[in-house]
Chain A
Amino acid sequence: MAQGGPDAGLGVYLPLVLIFVLALAFATLSVLLGPLLGPSRFNRAKFSAYECGIEPSPQPLVGAGRMPVAYYVTAMLFILFDIEMVFLFPYAVSADALGLWGVAAATLFIATFFIADAYVWRRGGLDWN
């Protein structure tokens, strides 16, 4: 019987499982050995933020600890439009075969989608300044 055929069972996955086990063991060992074998002498410099910008506290009065993540709404809208396209593409390919019913379904889908867009627009999600 050919390897990987429908009746080969799960045996063909054994090497993959072994690799996973090896990787896991290696990662665990590396993480565990460091603190166990290495000397741990702390000083002030070691406790400071390392190459990660300014100290996070005390929190600034303006903005009050909220980080300005201006792009997240844009990013989420992008994902939404992306997914909309993903769903409309298969419809477009077989629009002929689906006929009027397909048009109605796609319209309904787009309408539902624009309800969410209307909410974002009215609540200022599109004011990018």
Chain B
Amino acid sequence: MNVFLAQQADRIELPAIDYAAILPMLIILGAACIGVLFEAFLPKHQRWPGQVVLTLLAIAAAGVALGAYVGGSPAEGTTTLSGTLSIDRPALFLWGTLLALALGAVLLIADRSIEPGGAFVAQAGIAPGTVQDRAQVGSTGMQTEVFPLALFALGGMMAFCSANDLLTMFIALEVLSLPLYLMCGLARRRRLLSQEAAVKYFLLGAFASAFFLYGLALLYGYAGSVKLADIANATAGTDRSDTLLFAGLGLLMVGLLFKGSVGPFHTWTPDVYQGAPTPVTAFMAACTKVAAFGGMLRVLTVAFESTSWEWRGVLWGVAIVSMLIGAVLGLTQTDVKRMIAYSSIAHAGFLLIGTMALTEDGLSGTLFYLLAYGFTTLAAFGVISLVRDSTGEATHLSAWAGLAKRSPLLAAVFTFLLLALAGIPLTSGFVGKFVVFSAALSDGMAPLVVIALVFSAVAAFFYLRVVVLMYFSEPAADGPTVSVPGAFTTAAITLGVAVTLLLGVLPAFALDWAGAGGFAIS
């Protein structure tokens, strides 16, 4: 016993923590904890204003901390917390993207003018169709827990983008996923659909996490370490079991591709996008995609670059399947939210092409695409939340017929966003596709780029179908009304449209930021 204690008495070397580098993440997670305390100790009527101010302040403060750090940060990046987090240029770019997108999403979440009391129900646990459920339809209470949940998810996403070992990455994956599962089930209208979305997302997400964990375990067996850099070193040698390596990588990628809603791992996407409250869908569609592809970029670039010849063929197939599913099934959708969901599956295929290029251009192109796509889809869901009838949002496409005659401004904004999703010049979507495809071309993926162009054209058809429907159809007599958005939603949609236009006309500065440096390899 004494011997044991004597051995323990040696000082353990403490990890050095670069507080300035991780300050943005600490602010977000700290504010989430304060948000929980708000929920516990503030009286009911003060919770909503308190949470809104706290959440917006936290995101702004994290943005300022990030801006202050970027100026003096080392160009090659730095690792901190014993190498578990890697704060390099791609991570900083992704953090900025996440914070900006989360700002827009939180504005949508905070809006209470379109729906009295907000898009969130007061008590999500009540079974739909029961007496209590009918009683709470009229109430204007709202579950303000959604704000700390969003902050926790955001903190998890930031950690996910900069995680430098697989175990940290797994923890971050859970921190970002668990709040999202809950938030899906909080919709005020169509409770059954919303609860179904939450359960589906949770069950399938749990499966995906299990896949990720199995992959992690096999890779640990292969390399003897969960650190990305150690796995990269191990793949350089030839004396280990390739079975473990590729089984592990395959399972790991299933988990990551699921989060990025890449087909054939996309099956949750349409149901969850449709059932979740629209502001939460906007948050998921924009931010989760950024986090998932940020993590994928880092894993593939840092840990598996030397084996790219072995896995690239498989990812070719996955990208083609994803574009095929997104573009073809998107054609058959009659619900706007489901249509945008399939569009996001097609976009995931395009993003995957940039992700597997593993060149400087591929990295910067994918980062730019994530920024551009995030803002466009955020604003699109903001617009969708405005078209309503007596039962809530009118998401069926037939309700959108002739909308341009009722509300020319809304139809024009939505048309612009759809054109951006289709990739028409002068929008950010065109520049994004251009940089990703040209990076893929210069990395010898010409056939894949040709296929991607074909599917872009197919996908453009269903975006244009909505535009034609809005402009050249007669409005239905009992059609939906277009709500006048409050300040929050107006701000969010304006932000999304402005960034989509700005990145389409003047993309150079954002491309410079995205291409400022590569991943820290250590």
Interface residues of A (CB under 8 A from B): 9-10, 59, 61, 64-66, 93-94, 96-99, 101, 112, 115-116, 118-119, 121-123
In Å, the complex CA distance between A113 and B478 comes to 53
20 residue pairs A–B, Cβ–Cβ below 8 Å: A59-B130, A61-B131, A64-B127, A64-B131, A64-B133, A65-B127, A66-B125, A66-B127, A93-B8, A96-B5, A96-B9, A97-B11, A99-B11, A112-B33, A115-B36, A115-B37, A118-B36, A118-B40, A121-B40, A122-B39
Bound state CA distance, A103 and B9, in angstroms?
Answer: 15
By secondary structure, the B interface counts as helix
Residues of chain A lying within 8 A (CB to CB) of residue B12: 94, 97-98
Are A101's CB and B14's CB within 8 A? Answer: yes
Interface positions, chain B 29-71, Cβ under 8 Å from A, are 33, 36-37, 39-41
Distance, CA A115 to CA B126, complexed state (A): 26
Report the nearest B residue to A62, measured CB to CB.
B131
Query: Counting CB contacts under 8 A, is B233 at the interface?
Result: no
Q: Which residue of B lies closest to A119 (CB)?
A: B40
- Give the docked Cα–Cα distance between A116 and B14 (Å): 28
Instruction: Find residues 2-24 in chain B having any chain A CB closer than 8 Å to their own CB.
Output: 5, 8-12, 14
Bound complex: CA A99 to CA B11 (Å): 8
Assess the B131–A118 pair: CB atoms within 8 A.
no
| Size category of the binding interface on chain B | 20 to 34
Smallest beta-carbon distance A50→chain B, Å: 24
Question: What is the CA–CA distance of A119 and B42 in the complex, to the nearest angstrom?
Answer: 11
Known: A64-B132, A112-B33, A123-B39. 6 other contacts (CB 8 A): A10-B244, A65-B127, A97-B12, A118-B36, A119-B36, A119-B39
| Contact of B127 with A94 in the complex, beta carbons under 8 Å | no
Is A94 a contact of B126 with CB atoms below 8 Å? no
B17 CB to closest chain A CB, in angstroms?
10
Q: How far is the CA of A99 from the CA of B41 in the complex (A)?
A: 34
Is residue B391 within 8 Å, beta carbon to beta carbon, of the partner chain?
A: no
What is the distance, in angstroms, from B117's C-beta to the closest C-beta of chain A?
A: 19
- CB-CB under 8 A from B33, the residues of chain A are 112, 115
A94 contacts B131, CB within 8 Å?
Answer: no
- Residue in contact with A96 in the complex, picked from B8, B36, B37, B241, CB distance below 8 Å: B8
Answer yes or no: B243 CB below 8 A from chain A CBs. Answer: yes
